[in-house]
Amino acid sequence: MRWSHYYLYTTREVPADAEVPSHRLMLRAGLIRKTAAGIYTYTPFGWRSLAKLKAIVRREIDRAGGLEMSMPMVQPAELWKKSGRWQRYGKELARLEDRHGREFCLGPTHEEVITTMVGRDLSSFRQLPINLYQIQTKFRDEIRPRFGLMRGREFLMKDAYSFHTTAECLDTTYQAMAAAYRKIFEACHLDYTMVEADTGAIGGSDSHEFMVLAQTGESEVVHNATDGYAANVEKAEIGALRAPAQEEAVDRREVATPGASTVKEVAELLGVDVLKVVKTLLYQTDQGVVAVVMRGDREVNEVKLQNLLDAEFVAMANEAAVREATGAPVGFAGPIGLAEGVRLIADESVRPLTNFVCGANKDDAHFTGVNWGRDAEPDQWADLLLAAAGDPSPLGGGELVSSRGIEVGHIFKLGTKYSEAMGCDFHSEGGGKEPMIMGCYGLGIGRTVAAAIEQNHDEDGIIWPIPLAPFQLLLLSLNAKDEAVTAAAEALYGQFQEAGIDVLFDDRKERPGVKFKDADLIGIPIRVVVGAKSLAEGQVEMSLRRTREREMVAKEGVLARVRELLAAPA
């Protein structure tokens, strides 16, 4: 491709809302253009990179037994009412009406459509298992679209759905898809990890996320290199925490703690260790108001809480609700004397505490010397602790380490949730009718490309991994007015094209400085520079964007060297 005939416009300026490197660089390198908040146009240059990822995804999902198809973006409301998600999905679901007043939505995902189709077409165990997938545009009206392609409202996803007669059969496909995902991210040269993920209210089944490790990632993962445990922090279990020393019970006393409402302030005021002070957090949920007693120095995992309650939503109670439940302003809640109907759940981490301090449900007051059993008893004990770096791994290998990740893929054993709701049944070998057992497998196309840039860039621009680069090679001719240079560059361009190498030829009549700056910004992995001086000695300069190492190569040997570099690992 000749740059002079191409649609590739780099820019210096980036909007202030471009907070992360991949977003800034995708705009500056002319890969994407913003059309509206969270809605982007992919330029011919950017689209090439997405196309390369799509080809890798297709190759591996096909090998894992997937059959490619395509489903509509506009979906009738009836399907979503049938699954119950028309109400439950909330505002992320963009709804619309046609001219006849019929309701539709823009598909944020496709379980309803695929399950309906499969339920109509298949009826026998003999037709299963089946694994269907598409690479298609999704729309989710995200509350906070940001980071460019990383969290868009309109975005491309590869989504696959598998249908089975038994849990064992689902497991086989699930493992095959996990292996396919590994191959995809390895083929892209990404540094990634597979972690256990929350399964939500469906519970019980397996779910794993694929995380590309990057500082700017929105997810937190914890792992232990010795025992191999790795999980999204939302899901992470923790080994036994060290139990505090048990004390002889003392009398419970109410003490004045004016103005001291945080654990730290209370501990300082009373001169006790923060570990002696518990906090009591109030939540509003669709299952009523819940008070959670937690170790003073630790956080509640709200996903665990939501799963425990089987709740649709869980949110911190507002000031008025706190006052109603405790009779006190925020900061003085405790497990003793809560209002009628408030469910009290205590985290396992506070069970071994003796003579602890808690809020007295009274303005400016706390209790000291509180003991479980004698002074208070929760309705339920539960594990609601949010894992943190330094906690013991549940597999016993030592401390957990925390890192940030970008969730690029998510695989999930759905079970019969959708097949039951949508009536997707099969006749079993025994003759009975049973709901099909399902798995689903998502992979964000744009998010993965953005993650690749997040992991591969420097202050000058993108450093594409070869498999995702829009072009493999950038050919630069420096002295456009020099006939020998032009002729040599044209000859090399012809050679590269003939050899099937993905080449972008910067034949623009720009100054060398401009060309080099752009070359660094767009980050094509291999660079070949034809300039008058070296050409006089029969040589051209070659370099790699990643290492910036330069070498002089006789112009007859360039093609062979390029082939060598393309074959080399990463």
Does residue number 171 form part of the binding site for ligand ATP (CB under 6 A)?
no
Task: Identify the three-state secondary structure at position 69.
Answer: coil
Looking at the Cβ atoms of 165 and 456, the one nearer to ligand ATP is 456
- Shortest Å, Cβ 150 to ligand ATP: 6
Q: What's the N-to-C CA distance of the chain in angstroms? A: 24
Q: Which of 30, 296, 331, 442 binds ligand ATP (CB under 6 A)?
A: 442
For 412, the token pair is 């999930």
- Shortest Å, Cβ 109 to ligand ATP: 6
Looking at the Cβ atoms of 110 and 362, the one nearer to ligand ATP is 110
CB 460 within 8 A of CB 521: yes
Part in contact with ligand ATP (CB under 6 A); list of ranges 240-248, 373-381, 440-448, 474-482: 440-448
Using CA atoms, how far apart are residues 521 and 15, in angstroms rounded to an integer? 17
Q: Closest Cα partner for 48 from 67, 21, 73, 29?
A: 29
Say how many CA atoms lie within 13 Å of 72 toward its Cβ: 11
Does residue number 181 form part of the binding site for ligand ATP (CB under 6 A)?
no
**Distances from the Cα of 499 to the Cαs of 276, 503, 552, in angstroms?**
72, 10, 21
Question: Looking at the DSSP assignment, which residues form a beta bridge with residue 345?
Answer: 292, 380
Does residue number 195 form part of the binding site for ligand ATP (CB under 6 A)?
no
For 554, the token pair is 């006789």
Task: Identify the three-state secondary structure at position 225.
Answer: coil
- Shortest Å, Cβ 69 to ligand ATP: 18
CB 438 within 8 A of CB 164: yes
Sites for ligand ATP among residues 444-473 (CB under 6 A):
444, 446-447
- Shortest Å, Cβ 46 to ligand ATP: 15
Using CA atoms, how far apart are residues 43 and 499, in angstroms rounded to an integer? 26
Q: What are phi and psi of 112, to 5 degrees?
A: -60, -45
Give the torsion sign (CA, 298, 301, 306, 308). Answer: negative
Sites for ligand ATP among residues 209-238 (CB under 6 A):
none
Does residue number 515 form part of the binding site for ligand ATP (CB under 6 A)?
no
The amino acid present at 147, given as its one-letter code, is F
- Shortest Å, Cβ 369 to ligand ATP: 44
Does residue number 48 form part of the binding site for ligand ATP (CB under 6 A)?
no
Size of the site for ligand ATP (CB under 6 A): 15
Looking at the Cβ atoms of 23 and 28, the one nearer to ligand ATP is 23
- Shortest Å, Cβ 10 to ligand ATP: 24
Part in contact with ligand ATP (CB under 6 A); list of ranges 50-58, 148-156, 367-375, 456-464: 148-156
The amino acid present at 461, given as its one-letter code, is G
Question: Looking at the DSSP assignment, which residues form a beta bridge with residue 214?
Answer: none
Part in contact with ligand ATP (CB under 6 A); list of ranges 181-189, 239-247, 408-416, 545-553: 408-416
Residue nearest to ligand ATP (CB): 444
Sites for ligand ATP among residues 107-136 (CB under 6 A):
109
Q: Which of 8, 27, 105, 157 binds ligand ATP (CB under 6 A)?
A: 157
Q: Please report, to the nearest 10 degrees, the dihedral formed by the alpha carbons of residues 182, 183, 185, 186 taken in order.
A: 110
Give the footprint of ligand ATP on this chain (CB under 6 A).
109, 140, 142, 151-152, 155, 157, 407-410, 442, 444, 446-447
